[in-house]
Amino acid sequence: MQDMSILRQAVVLILIAGILACAQSDPLANRVRAELNRHNQLTLQYQSELEALRAEAEAGNSEAMLGVAEIYFIGKGVDVDHIEAARWFRRAAEADSAEAQYRLGLLLDFGIGAQKQPTEAASWYDRAANQGHLKAQTQLASMLDLGRGVTRDAALAARWYQAAAEQGDLSAQSALATKLALGDGLEADPAEAVRWYRAAAAQGSPMDQYNLGFSYEQGAGVERDPFEAERWYRQAAEQGLADAQFALGTLYAEAEGPQRDLMEAYKWTFIAARSGYPGALRSLQALRRQIPVRDRGDAEALAQDWMLRHQSSAPPPGAIAP
């Protein structure tokens, strides 16, 4: 019996040796083993970095506190822990780190790792904004503009939008331009609105490209120029903005002289109608009475081709109207 037990153990050992030999010669197994080793090494490295940062943080280094918070927030070498991240963001914020004040504001604003507290969030945004933190200025301006967590103050919102806009923030430039155009919180200034529409449009904002085109079409804050209006409408339309597509189609349809182009008018109105833009279908039906059947077919083909090439910017093909 003992001989049989020894024999069985020998067979098992032989089988295990064979399995290990196969695993060692298997390229996939080797890759998995190498990846596990790399992962373990990185984890040990991250944990070492965390301990070093924590020691500095406990000694009062606000940048180290911020680093510890970010490690817990993204789960770098540790489990994601938003509550622990919020605790460290708060310590860094209280140590006057503008970035930590902004990040803590976000957590309180959206209820991540802490109970949602917009009023306290606004307070931290304010502290960071007064240190020149760009994103905090924009967030604070938005809260003041909407009266979210604070009493609405359009004038103060405009001031913070201005501060962020001058640092190049796209959303602040766009918001400031709109407030200047409407006279919301500050005196209406169409020319200054155009300046900020232009700044945001240059950063690729389709809505601001449309607003700049509209300013040129109407002569609001700038000398009327239908060709500049066409240029900006087209940039926004090519990005899929239905407002600009409809405006561009209307511009071509109603223009005088060489700018009038019923084929382009039909094409862009067709695309806007496919998006369900209000009034586009009615305009398209009016254009159908002005354009020959053959040209209409060519314009529809151009529209369909555009939508096929911009599937993320346009709705799927389908019938518009009988």
Per-residue pLDDT of 72-92, as tens digits, reads 999 988 889 999 999 999 999
- In which region does residue 192 sit, left (phi positive, over 0), alpha (psi from -120 to 50) or beta (all else)? alpha
pLDDT at 22 over 70: no
Beta strands in 27-157 (DSSP E): none
* 151 token code pair: 């009493």
20 or 290, which is more confident: 290
Amino acid at 154: A
Average pLDDT over residues 132-138: 97
* Residues 320/273, Cβ–Cβ less than 8 Å: yes
Query: Where does the pLDDT of residue 50 fall: very low under 50, low under 70, confident under 90, or very high at 90 and above?
Result: confident
Question: How far apart are alpha carbons 246 and 226 in whole angstroms?
Answer: 15
CB hemisphere CA count around 110 (13 angstroms):
9
Per-residue pLDDT of 185-244, as tens digits, reads 999 999 999 999 999 999 999 999 999 999 999 999 999 999 999 999 999 999 999 999
Question: How far apart are alpha carbons 104 and 92 in whole angstroms?
Answer: 9
Question: How far apart are alpha carbons 151 and 145 in whole angstroms?
Answer: 9
Query: Where does the pLDDT of residue 38 fall: very low under 50, low under 70, confident under 90, or very high at 90 and above?
Result: low
Query: How far from 219 is each of 190, 195, 216, 247, 297, CA to CA, in Å?
Result: 10, 14, 5, 15, 35
User: Which of 17-26, 170-179, 290-299 has maximum average pLDDT?
Assistant: 170-179
Question: How far apart are alpha carbons 17 and 82 in whole angstroms?
Answer: 46
Average pLDDT over residues 114-142: 97
Per-residue pLDDT of 143-153, as tens digits, reads 999 999 999 99
DSSP string, 172-191: HHHHHHHHHHHTSSS---HH
Question: How far apart are alpha carbons 34 and 36 in whole angstroms?
Answer: 5
Question: How far apart are alpha carbons 137 and 226 in whole angstroms?
Answer: 36
Query: Where does the pLDDT of residue 164 fall: very low under 50, low under 70, confident under 90, or very high at 90 and above?
Result: very high
